[in-house]
Each structure stands twice: as structure tokens, then as C-alpha cells.
Amino acid sequence: MTQTTAFHAPRIFDGSHWHDDAALLVADGRVVQILPRADAPDGVQIDGMLVPGLIDLQANGGGGILFNNGLTADAIGTICRAHAGFGTTSVMVTLITDTQDSTAKAIAAGQIAARTSGFLGLHLEGPHLDPARKGTHDPALIRTMDADDLEILIGAAAQFDHLICTIAPESVSVDQVTALRQAGATISLGHTGCDFATALAYADAGATMVTHLFNAMGQMEHRAPNLVGAALDDGRLWAGLIADGYHVADAPMRAALRAKAGPAGMFLVSDTMSTIGSDLTGFTLNGREIFRADGRLTLADGTLAGADIALIDALRYVHQTLGFSLETVLNLCALAPAQAMGIADRGHLRPGAHADFFCLTPAITAAGTWIGGTKIKVQG
């Protein structure tokens, strides 16, 4: 007989509506329904708001582990547990530009970790980028996609339910994008100086996403809209945004969030490195030292090197600093990334959804996380 567990809370957000003084019923790792508390069986008492678990499509590390530096299933588990402590229940663990051998090891680790709680899939950010828009990526490792690279990625797409490949048109052809999309990969344009027409051509070929809007790409000008303009104007392209107060100024973030043409929308990402859930003051990436100070991660020359936030920190920033409603921002961190990946049963708490949720405090922090209805023991 299937056991049903009721989670009682003062408020529950199902992704569309708030339910006051209610209970979330869960069975077999799925949401059954939300009932008034008086109509529900006894169960677990939650002192706070229950909201859908956050979905981070770009997390390079956590818990003291940078995925590039620990290409194992255990490293993936550590990263996912670290993020669960901040209410993130699904993570696309991200490999930053590295060697072909490291990419193969990352894919192998992901295959072993397939059933790891909180692991959604792999995001391969590079190495097929524009060297002129490298950001913190090692220019010595950036390269044009060749037949071997394409074969590896097509094979990876067959092994994972979810795989994101961030690529630049300067290093990847339209035909290669079409082949990857047909294999099941999600193609994201990023670290590129491509113009508006090129971005649309790659969307025609199957690209559906833009990696960290505004950062490492051509900006929108009045006669040259470039990739930023394509991302905002084309309803086929979902756009990720790093909302830490450093990567993008407040005004363009507000403008982008209000202006994005649909049906594809915006979503928030952390772009976090190894520091989240740890007391690290620095680490190395491809042999280069990264410094942590004042909420920022930088190379020695001051170049931003990922972010020092969890996704809930971006949620809090967009809600409290940029002034967007809590409902809007919860969806930017849960429902929107699920939709961007074509996942219908995550990012909300309607009947049939994965029972992935967390307790949100009035201070916009996480006070307990459940994945598949099971409370996650976080590290630390």
C-alpha cells in the first residue's frame, strides 16, 4: 500500500497560487495534491513557506569542490548536497572549458552519478567558444569543434536525460548544432561576439538558450542588436542571468526581465564555483588562482571568475533589490529553468510533480530541503 505523507505549512506556493494554512500530500516521490490543513491527515509540521525546489542550470561547483578539479561521481554528489542546503533540488553540474580528456571524464562521472539525488545532468560550458570572449576560460584550451568532439557530445546526449552545451558560432558550425540538437542536447549560445543575424541562424538550427545574458557577448546597440538583442527579441531563446550585483548592473537586469519576448523567457542561474557551502578563500582553475573576497571571485587581473552565490541568493537579490514579486522570482528560479529544459514535472508543486521543495523563511533563506519527498541531509 502506498504511503502518503502530509506536509503542513502556513503557506504553500504551487508555482501559480498560494495556499494558506494548507498541506502538501506526497506519495511515491510525487505530489498528490494540496489540501486545506483541516482536510489533511496528520503529518510533518513546517514552520515557514513551502515552495518548489530551485533548479540551477549552471553550477560549476559547491561544498569546496570545483567540478573541473574533481571529475568523479563523488564530486557531483558533494556539489548537489551543498546546493540542497540552499533550497536547490536540481543541479546541472557544469564543466568549464577543459581538455578533451577532462570532458570525457566528466561525462563518465555523470553517467555513474545518474541517480544521485539532485543531479539533473551536465552543462558543458565550452571549450568551443570565441577566444575573444573567453571571460575566465583558459584561452589555451578553447578550440574549434572537430569530428571527434562532435562524436563525444552526441554520445553524451544519448547517455543523459539532460545535457546543455554552451557553444559559440565562431567555433561550432550550424550543421554541428543541428546534429547535437537532433541527438537531444540543449544548445546554448555564449562566450561569443556573434551578430544578431548569426544568433538567429543558430536558433533556426536548434539553439534554444543563451548563457549568462550580457556577460561575454556582444551587447545590444541601436543599430547592432547582437546576441543580447537576439536573446531579448526572439521568443525561441531562453536566457540565463547571473543576479549577484556584480556580473550585471541593476538597470539592465530590470530591463531585460521586463522586456524578454516569449514564449521562451528568462531564468536565474548561480554560475557558482566551489566556494558555496564552504569557507574557502580561493581555489585554482586550469592552474590559475581564483581569489574570493567581498562576494566576488576574480582572477589576479580582476576578471570575474564565476559567482560566489547560491541560486537562492540570486532569488533574494532580484526580489529585495530589484523589486520583483516573490512569486515572479520563485518562478525565475524553478518553473522557468524547468520549462527551458522541456521538463514538465519540476519547478512546481501541482499534482504529479516531483516532490522537490524547501522551506522558505521570511528572510529568504532555506530551512530544510526535500527531494522526492525525502528530507536531504546537507553537509556542514
Whether residue 98 contacts residue 141, with contact meaning beta carbons closer than 8 Å, is answered with yes
136 marked as binding residue: yes
- What cell numbers appear for 83 in the block? 546546493
How far apart, in whole angstroms, are the C-alpha atoms of residue 113 and residue 66?
16
222 marked as binding residue: no
How far apart, in whole angstroms, are the C-alpha atoms of residue 361 and residue 152?
43
151 marked as binding residue: no
Residue 24 CA: distances (Å) to CA of 6, 9, 89, 161, 198 = 6, 8, 17, 28, 47
Known catalytic membership, residue 14? no
How far apart, in whole angstroms, are the C-alpha atoms of residue 375 and residue 18?
22
Whether residue 143 contacts residue 127, with contact meaning beta carbons closer than 8 Å, is answered with yes
Of 130, 149, 271, 356, the catalytic one is 271
191 marked as binding residue: yes
212 marked as binding residue: yes
125 marked as binding residue: yes
247 marked as binding residue: yes
306 marked as binding residue: yes
216 marked as binding residue: yes
The amino acid that residue 262 corresponds to is G
Binding residues for substrate: 136, 215-216, 223, 247, 304-306
Binding residues for Zn(2+): 125, 191, 212
| Binding site, annotated residues | 125, 136, 191, 212, 215-216, 223, 247, 304-306
Catalytic residue ranges: 271
